[in-house]
Copies of this chain bind each other. A is one copy, B any other.
Amino acid sequence: MKRIGLVMFFVAGLCLAQDSGGYQPATTNVPGAEYPRVDGNSRVQIRVKAPEATKVRVNFWSGPKLDMEKQIDGFWMVTTTPLAPGLHYYMLNVDGAEVSDPNSYSFYGGSKDASGVEVPEMGTTYYLPQNVPHGEVREVWYHSSVTDSWRHVLLYTPPGYDVQSKVRYPVLYLQHGAGEDETGWTRQGRANFILDNLIASGSCRPMIVVMANGYARRAGRPSPDLTGNLPGSPEAMAAMQQMAEAFEDEMTQALIPFVDANFRTIADRNHRAMAGLSMGGMQTFRVTFNHLDLFSYIGGFSGAATAQVLGQEKLDVKTAFNGALADPAAFAKRVHLLWLGVGTEEPARMHEGMERLHKSLDEANIKHVFYESPGTAHEWQTWRRDLKDFAPRLFQEGTPTP
């Protein structure tokens, strides 16, 4: 704290000299809110006015659960130990009420509009808005005959899409996790800025990114009950499976045809990728391996083939995925990229499961990438890093783009 107590900070164009212990308002705060704030050691201070409360807590989902301390001015405050960098979901608990902090923007996660606080990663800019051309993030509504409903999808178009009206682009389908929705990859994950920066530096090809809502229900069927964030109980697994089946049809029969008809895509398997996090990783493995005629790039971020990741099973390469892996040479030729990622601090079941899948693939000589995000858990910083490693590997093979 001493070290940076007197450092000058440039914040939104203002030059402030303040003995704040180096704390700065989080970038996830609404304009003008001083708290939450974060110091150079990744410690977060939360402050909330609750003059008549007897107990106030803050619960970070992938972090500490802490009692806050009452101050004489009626505010409650707490300072965390250093947190991992990235976006952390949190909730306030005021005398037993689990509520959101109106000083932070809300992020849909854990099936709630929860609060989030961004902890900067020192020296890291790949997911920050930089002085480079920016793509658009479009809210698009389309009618699905599979679900017989209008569906909302977010679609990133790369810089120049509107003015270079003859150019066609490859497409990455990118899925959120359970308890999140189609807004997660841009709001929490900052996928648009990650792509902007990778494209600007020439590290990745300009592409369209489609972020769909991963919950689907066939027309006339009841909604499956799905709660919780980490894939868990047998009930949650069964509900996910049921949804995954509906989502597979929805995606292949409704969404992909809609995107190819309405956007300037290169509509073939050499220019179509899919990846997803957690539940979205499972959906990705299901959809892509059942439709290798549609996809040639596959990414599982902290989630992939269900039984191998979450069960105790070793992958049976002869039978798994309709036998797609039975001939490693043929598979490597057909699938240009099979990519797996996991955070080193994820729950053992997830970490070991992804590692078991990776080892099974290695033993079977199945070409793939296995990436471990150091020091991060089942959280957005892991998935931002995944995307940063994954996207530059896309669309480097197959038919060249015109």
Contact = CB atoms under 8 A, between A and B. Distances in A.
A225 interface: yes
A24 to B, nearest CB: 15
Interface stretch (A87-95, A297-305, A317-325, A385-393): A87-95
B111 A13 contact: no
Interface residues of A, number: 65
Interface in A78-113: 91-92, 94-106, 108, 111-113
A351 interface: no
A212 to B, nearest CB: 15
Interface in A145-194: 149-150, 162-163, 165, 186, 192
Interface in A215-241: 215, 217, 219-223, 225, 227
Nearest to A14: B222
Contact of A97 (B50, B163, B263): B50
A191 to B, nearest CB: 12
A141 interface: yes
Contact of A112 (B91, B103, B131): B103
Contacts of A96: 49-53, 74
A165 B165 contact: yes
- The interface centre, meaning the residue of A31, A94, A113, A262 with most chain B CB atoms within 10 A of its CB, is A113
Contacts of A221: 13
Contact of A100 (B51, B100, B134, B143): B100
A102 B95 contact: no
Contacts of A48: 97, 99
Contacts of A13: 149, 217, 219-223, 225
Contacts of A162: 262-263
B150 A141 contact: no
Interface string A19-55: 0000000000011100000000000000011111111
A114 interface: yes
A138 interface: yes
A221 B13 CA distance: 8
A97 B32 contact: no
Given A30-B113, A94-B95, A139-B139, 19 more contacts: A13-B222, A30-B111, A49-B98, A53-B97, A54-B95, A74-B96, A92-B97, A94-B97, A99-B100, A100-B100, A104-B113, A105-B108, A106-B106, A106-B113, A134-B141, A136-B139, A138-B138, A138-B139, A139-B192
Interface of A: 12-14, 30-32, 48-56, 74, 91-92, 94-106, 108, 111-114, 129, 131, 134, 136-143, 149-150, 162-163, 165, 186, 192, 215, 217, 219-223, 225, 227, 262-263
26 contacts: A12-B223, A13-B222, A13-B223, A31-B111, A50-B95, A50-B96, A51-B96, A52-B54, A52-B96, A53-B53, A53-B94, A53-B96, A56-B97, A92-B99, A94-B94, A95-B95, A99-B99, A99-B102, A100-B106, A100-B113, A102-B114, A105-B106, A129-B150, A131-B150, A134-B150, A139-B186
